[in-house]
Structure 1
Amino acid sequence: MTTTVLAAGDRFVLPRLLSDAVRARADADIGVRELELPWPHVPFGPVAEVQEASGTEEELIAALSGVRVCVTQMAPLTERVLAACPDLELFCVSRGGPVNANLDAATRHGVAVCFAPGRNAAATAEHTLGLILAAARHIPDLHTDLREGRWRGDFYDYDNCGVGIEGTAVGLVGYGAIGRRVAAALSALGARILVHDPYVTEDALPETATKVTLDDLLAHARIVSLHARLTPETRGIIGTDEIAAMRPGGVLVNCARGGLVDYDAVRRALESGHLHAAAFDVYAEEPVPPDSRLLKAPNVVLTPHVAGASRQVAHKAADLVAAEVHRFLDGRPLAHCANPAVLDTDGVLRGRKGRGE
């Protein structure tokens, strides 16, 4: 029996990347149908009850007719879509989390939802390192000044000099896949790494890193970079009091989640000079409102939530979900299922025991 797969890509994880990855791994009889969603040319947003989705329920329902497997980055999996698409069994999201899928509804309909953890860890770590260097050494401002005809030799004045990495204490709040990569890169540049992560044990850290409390990290680190997940416990983890506890002349960087930081407190600290610089790729509100005072703050480097944007990420995302499709077709356990209640004790979708049965 031919299995029909919908490759619902967009302008980042292209439909052809998803199709090619699925076909490259499949040794079963499959047919691949493609749908292109408008993200990022059209911003993602809520679609019915799910968040951060692209496209409409209507176009996805039409495209899913007769489809058992969907691989996508942004397509909305809603109660309405699930009710209208009874053939669907597997929905693979090529992102670090399936925020575009209604997991409760998928579980009720017996649809397994998979995701792609770690797909952009390397790219985000690289971007973080770039922002740390750019903010600490004022690279964007110096670039702009030179293009406008100003030769800023005064940055050799001791009071204006940037912050170097070698010998500097860098604090990482969160030590997952991204934090580990950032730590390795900064250690190679001679930084001393301080880590605050309640889920990491001291013996899991390299010799170049030390586990500390958040208070100790803020008191001793010259550069603080955030890599924590956004949870009720971490929301607003860096606010007015925490910034005040940082060393004068410190640098704050966030490529994790906007909800970790009080950006008004950051702006005030930049304007007062308490913070030497800051750099952000994520924000409390996205896109950043054009009247946001953060956009006018001194010594701040801003990028529009693109830390995970590299061509390698798009290919890796497609490969990760294609691997899940291959496991599904073989009747093997799924590796990254977000709603395991639909699986049997072996990790296989209930009722799915291999393509020959």
Structure 2
Amino acid sequence: MRILAAGDHFVRPDLLRAALAAELADLPGELTPEFRDLTLPWPHEPFGPVGTVIEASGTEDQLIEALEGAGICVTQMAPFTEKVIAASPGLRMIAVSRGGPVNVDLAAATRHGVAVSFAPGRNAPAAAEFAIGLMLAAMRRITTADADLKNGVWRGDFYAYEEGGIELDGATVGLVGYGAIGRIVARVLTAFGSRVLAHDPYADPAAVRADGVELVGLDDLLRASNVVSLHARLTTETHHLIDADKLALLPEGAVLVNSARGGLLDYAPLPGLLRSGRLGALALDVYDVEPPPADWPLHDAPNVVTAPHLAGATRQTAHRAAAITAAEVGRFLRGEPLAHPANPEVTPDNRLKESRP
């Protein structure tokens, strides 16, 4: 069985191969894997749309050439478009080492009988810790004070009452989205002494209550929260979930954090809200356009903390992604149900054929 490890400079091919070798060590001889590597340019080159998919790295022709003779591909960023899948008749599985297979044309994979899996929760600890870091940096002006001090400016004025920050201890923090990341964030906030609210129409109310978190409607969460942090998945339903009308519900001086997806937030009203003081601070790791252009209005808005989409960038995330992905390949080759199928309609019978029709 030839497996293409289409890694990049984060989830590297050697990490994928090591995880696969450990997972597949006990397979029968006829399924012993033969590995081929491909290194895609991300993150040294930004990802983007390729063919019919989004957030991909590399080219279709490059991937088609590397897939020759491969039955399985493990990847984070490779562009599995209709063109690539149609040109790879031996391909039976695409195991994506990220939280959603946005680099795969799922409809095309399903039509061609190719199973697709993904790796939910791979970056949950990293992303949760980063969100807390963004909150603290925005609430206490850490990055502003750091930059000014390095430029020879001592910001003693930040000790003035009017300029003072707020604490998480005793603050009401609203989490929009309560999946794996939001749940870890809530646990940390509770330890800080925060009152935590959550809005997630898909969350189990009993499980949320058991975490000591209050499940509320979105408008109620926004009206009550000193800090709001976004942790929802981006869908057509959640695009611009937080728009100008929703932002108007926030208490004056509230802090807003987005480390989930840029499309959740309407960025257009934010510069005005920051300059007027209606919004106290803003912390961002994701954007409507990545990277933001040089004339982006928030570059010179006050009280903004920014990072270049780094929430999941830990070595542990890369190892976890490889391990989750390798476990799915092991299930596939043993004929077991996948734990994280993206197209469950591709059944074991048709995915284990020698080649696709």
What TM bracket, shorter-length normalisation? over 0.9
Name the counterpart of 2:263: 259
Name the counterpart of 1:10: 8
* Alignment deviations for residues 125-162 of structure 1 (CA, whole Å, 9 cap, x no partner): 01100000000000001111211222222222110100
Indicate which of 217, 221, 232 corresponds to 1:228: 232
Name the counterpart of 2:56: 53
- Contact between 1:264 and 1:294, CA under 8 Å: does it hold in 2? no
Q: Which amino acid aligns with 1:255?
A: S
What is the distance in 2 between the residues matched to 1:140 and 1:245? 27
Normalised by the length of structure 2, the TM-score is 0.94
CA 1:178 to 1:36, structure 2 compared with 1: closer, same or farther past 3 Å?
same
What is the DSSP-based 3-state SS (H/G/I as helix, E as strand, rest coil) of the residue aligned with 1:113?
Answer: strand
Alignment of 1:221-300 (within 5 A): 221-300=225-304
What is the distance in 2 between the residues matched to 1:16 and 1:198? 39
User: Unaligned 5+ residue runs, structure 1?
Assistant: none
CA 1:50 to 1:232, structure 2 compared with 1: closer, same or farther past 3 Å?
closer
Matched, 1:165 2:168: yes
Matched, 1:104 2:139: no
Name the counterpart of 2:330: 326
- How far 1:232 sits from its partner (Å)? 2.5
- Contact between 1:112 and 1:349, CA under 8 Å: does it hold in 2? no
What is the distance in 2 between the residues matched to 1:349 and 1:118? 28
* Alignment deviations for residues 215-259 of structure 1 (CA, whole Å, 9 cap, x no partner): 221111100111112223322121222222111111000111111
Matched length: 348
Q: Which amino acid aligns with 1:9?
A: G
Indicate which of 310, 314, 328 corresponds to 1:310: 314
What is the distance in 1 between the residues matched to 2:262 and 2:315? 24
Q: Which amino acid aligns with 1:98?
A: P
* Alignment deviations for residues 158-209 of structure 1 (CA, whole Å, 9 cap, x no partner): 1010011100111111111111111100110000001111222432223532
- Contact between 1:331 and 1:353, CA under 8 Å: does it hold in 2? no
What is the distance in 1 between the residues matched to 2:108 and 2:151? 56
Q: Which has the higher contact order (CA 8 A, sep 6+)?
A: 2
User: Unaligned 5+ residue runs, structure 2?
Assistant: none
Name the counterpart of 1:350: 350
What is the distance in 1 between the residues matched to 2:49 and 2:221? 37
What is the DSSP-based 3-state SS (H/G/I as helix, E as strand, rest coil) of the residue aligned with 2:5?
Answer: strand
- Contact between 1:98 and 1:114, CA under 8 Å: does it hold in 2? yes
What is the DSSP-based 3-state SS (H/G/I as helix, E as strand, rest coil) of the residue aligned with 1:224?
Answer: strand
Normalised by the length of structure 1, the TM-score is 0.94
> Cα RMSD between the aligned structures?
1.5
- How far 1:213 sits from its partner (Å)? 1.6
* Alignment deviations for residues 24-47 of structure 1 (CA, whole Å, 9 cap, x no partner): 111231111111111111111122
